[in-house]
Structures are given as C-alpha cells and as structure tokens.
Amino acid sequence: MEDVSVIVSTTTLSLWENKVPEVVFTEMRKHFQNVNSKQRHLIDTYVSRDDPRLVSCFQLFYGKSLENCQYATIRSFHSRYVNHYKILQQPCYLSCVYPEEVYLDKKAWIKSQENEEFSQKLVENDEVF
C-alpha cells in the first residue's frame, strides 16, 4: 500500500478561498468538467482533495511538494485511512481559524476493520440449513 497525498491550505482561509490563479482552474477543467472558478465554494463537493489529478495539477504549477505555493501544501498519510480522514480548520479565536489540517479518524478505521474481520468470520463459518 502506498501513501495518499492531499492538498491543504496553509493560510487561515480554506483552500478554495485563497487566490488560486485562473491558470490552475484552467488546468483543472481538463480533468474535472464541473470546475468553475466563480463557484469556488462548491469545488470540494465534486473534487476530492486526495484525487491524484488534483494533486498533480497543483504540482505542475508549484513543484512536487508545492514548495513554490504560498497558500497550500501537500500532506500525506497511509492509504488505509483514505476513507477515514477529514480536512478540518479548527477555530482559533472568535472569527479566526487555524490553517487546514488532516484529521485521521483512526477509531472509525479500527471499527471498520473489526466489522470486516467479523464479516469474514461469518463467511468462513457459514452453514447451510
């Protein structure tokens, strides 16, 4: 299994609230037909932050680890958590927030593994009546 990479904002704005250049949106439209820079607030609903096409689009303009990007970076984690992560922006003080961070819900992952093991045992111990 390999790592999953996600794009997160390093500012107090969510990723799409930052001043993402139009050329990035133009490149994204090659892969995602619904991308519209005028409706940035909707992008997260149809483009997953871990989508390799999104990650490679940002890398094309900002470098492999987004070293040339002033508003975003890449965070990586083990692929086993791909269905159990969230991008959160914690409140700091009143209307201020911290930059985005990746939250891995390991308890949910463990529970899913237990359910999978339980399901496997049911199949293994299946009886015919």
What sign does the dihedral 95-100-105-109 (CA atoms) show? positive
Record the pTM.
Answer: 0.80
Q: Is the CB of residue 7 less than 8 Å from the CB of residue 54?
A: yes
More confident residue, 93 or 14: 14
For the segment 39-95, what is each residue's pLDDT rounded down to a tens digit?
Answer: 888 898 889 999 999 999 999 999 999 999 999 999 999 998 899 999 999 888 877
